[in-house]
Each structure stands twice: as structure tokens, then as C-alpha cells.
Amino acid sequence: MEAIWYGIMAILLGTYVLLDGYDLGAGMAYLFFADTDEEKQKVLKSIRSIWDANEVWLIAFVGIAWVVFPRYAQILFDNFGGYIMLFFLFLLLKTITFNLMLVFDQKVELKKWLGYLFGFINMMLIVFISLIFANILRGIYVSQPGTHLRFVSQMFSPFTAKVGLFDWFSLLSMSVIFIAVSIHGLGWIILKNKGAFNRKLKKTIQRLAFVELILIGLFLVAWYFLHPDIYHNYWSYPFLFVLPVLAFISLFGLMGIRTYQGENKASILSTNFIIFSWLSIMAAIYPNFILSLDQSTLDIFTGGFDNPERFFIKWWILAIGLLLLSYSIVVHKYMKGEDRQ
């Protein structure tokens, strides 16, 4: 039963990363890759149909964590609670800024500065979520929940035991996540537009994909360096290798994106890359929620406890989650391809 709920939580969080990745990546593109007013307007129109409903998956993940795996939720918030709250605060600021840009559409100078703020907020949201996830992969002190990591490592070296939330491994991991989300957002913008802007973004995706390949190679070696048994599940169940293989195929496809006809290839490939990369990571760390820097573990068997009063709550959550999934599929199916210019 624990494995089922682990899978449900992985799906919820993965769905948020996938759907809000379009939003955050496109929002950051507004700051870095849209040069003219026309290009910026195209970016905003591409976001308009997806920006306001994705956070429900993240909220559902947090709620299930507290109900089904309370010890995991406690340790997660004990170590990253401040950054999680900042993340939700910046989500609110992003909503306010986006609406202000629509309200003051005719105020050129004000909209310009709001656009800079909007892009910065999206960038910081990616930084927060990638920092948290990077440290989950690197590890925290599970048996000593009161022992908090420094924000910055005292020594930025792979050979020091004095690690911090921001160290060499988290910087590497954040870079991988940052570029993946950027490519994902650019693919969505291409799907919703056409013309010279798309050709420009495809060229950018191609370059980012090459950088991503190099960073992923470094990440895989570094992860093995920190946790020599991290690929144990793959050696035990070789069929799991199909997941990273499919992820790399999608990444190689993004490298050749400029040679493909049509405007949907970048979005399809980036979506596949996100999905199979996410599944590859989940397959590697299962049954753990968070990797550990000490001798304790935090997995599906130690992250929760039996409580009969929670039984029916779990199934209510599952039923509502299935309804939300159905809603999201229908909405995104009918929104696909709209607003193309």
C-alpha cells in the first residue's frame, strides 16, 4: 500500500513540474529570450491559458504528504520550510504581477518594468524548487532533524564533509533543472506561435540541449560519487534502463529541433524529456523520499505511521485527485494550439 501512495505522490509532484514547467519556463523566456515588444506579447499570450491552475497539484502533494507520510512531511518542512513558504509567496507575486501587466497594457514604461519583475519572479521560482530538489537528491540529516544545513557550504569542494544547501552538487543539479525547465517553456511558446520568433527559439533550444547533455553527464557521475549505491535499482531491475534511454532520446531529438517540420515537436520532445527524466530519478531513489547524509533512512516504510482515522481521508484524497487529473487533461486538450500567431 505504501508503494501505491508513493506512486501517487510522485505523479502529483511530477504533474506539477510538467505543467508549471511550461509556465515558469515561458515566464523566464519573457526576460531572457523575448527582445521585441511583439515577441514579449507572444510570450504572454502563450502563458495566458495555463498560468493559473497548475499549483493545485503541488498543494495536493503537500496535503497527501501530511496525511499519508507525516514523518516525511515533517522532515521536509523542518529542512526546507522557509524556502517552501518563499516559493508560495513568489507564486502569489507572480499572479499579481501578471495581472498588473494585463491591466496596464497601455502603460508602456510601467509594463516594461513589470515585465522585468515578472521574469525575475519566474526565475526565482525555478531557483527555489531546484534548490530543494537538488538537496533531496544530495541528502540531508534524517536522524537529526534539528541539524540544519548551512545555506552555503563552508568549502565548495566535493571532498569536504561540511556541506550546505548551496554547494557544488546542488549548483550542478540546479543547473540541470534550470535548463530543462527553460527548454520546456520555450517548447510551449513555439507550440503557440509561428514564424521568425519560433525559428529563433528553436535555435536557442538546440544550444541549451547540448549544454544540458554535458551537465547531465556530470550530474550522473557526481551522484554516483556521493551515493555509490544510487543505481542499485537499475542493476537489480535492468528493464528500468528504458526510462533514462527514452529521456536521452528526447534530449537528442531536441538537439536537432531546427530540422523538424511543424511547431509541436519541441513541446512533445521537452514533455517526454521531463516525464522520463522524472521517472528515472524516482526509479533510482525508490523507496526513499529523501537521501540521507547519516545512517538513517527516510523511505515509504519509515515516513508514515498506521492510523485508522486517516484511512477514509486517504481515499477521499485519491478520488478528488482523479477528478483533478481528468479536468487537467480535458482543459489542456482543448487549449492546445490556441492563440497561435
Residue 335 to residue 238: CA distance in whole angstroms? 38
pLDDT at 260: 82
Residue 76 to residue 135: CA distance in whole angstroms? 11
- Which residue stretches of the chain have pLDDT < 70? 1, 48-53, 143-164, 303-318, 320-321, 324-325, 328-329, 331-341
Residue 259 to residue 281: CA distance in whole angstroms? 30
Within a domain: residue 341?
Answer: no
The 10s digit of each residue's pLDDT in 276-328 is: 999 999 999 998 888 887 777 778 777 665 555 555 566 666 676 677 667 76
Range of the domain at 8: 2-335
Residues 6+ apart with CB under 8 A from 119: 27, 28, 30, 31, 32
The x, y and z cell numbers of residue 289, run together, are: 523520499
Within a domain: residue 250?
Answer: yes
Query: Contact, 303 vs 71, CB < 8 A?
Result: yes
Question: 340, exposed or middle or buried, with CB in 10 Å at 0-12, 13-18, 19+?
Answer: middle
Of 23, 340, 84, the closest CA to residue 190 belongs to 340
Within a domain: residue 340?
Answer: no
Within a domain: residue 136?
Answer: yes
What percent of the chain is modeled with pLDDT above 90? 25
pLDDT at 244: 95
Roughly what angle, to the nearest 10 degrees, separates helices 2-32 and 37-47? 160
Task: Give the number of domains in the chain.
Answer: 1
The 10s digit of each residue's pLDDT in 233-248 is: 999 999 999 999 999 9
Within a domain: residue 174?
Answer: yes
Residue 99 to residue 44: CA distance in whole angstroms? 11
pLDDT at 236: 94
The residues that bridge with 164 in the sheet, in sequence order, are: 150
SS3 content of the chain, % helix, strand, coil (to 5): 75, 5, 20
Within a domain: residue 282?
Answer: yes
Query: Contact, 119 vs 90, CB < 8 A?
Result: no
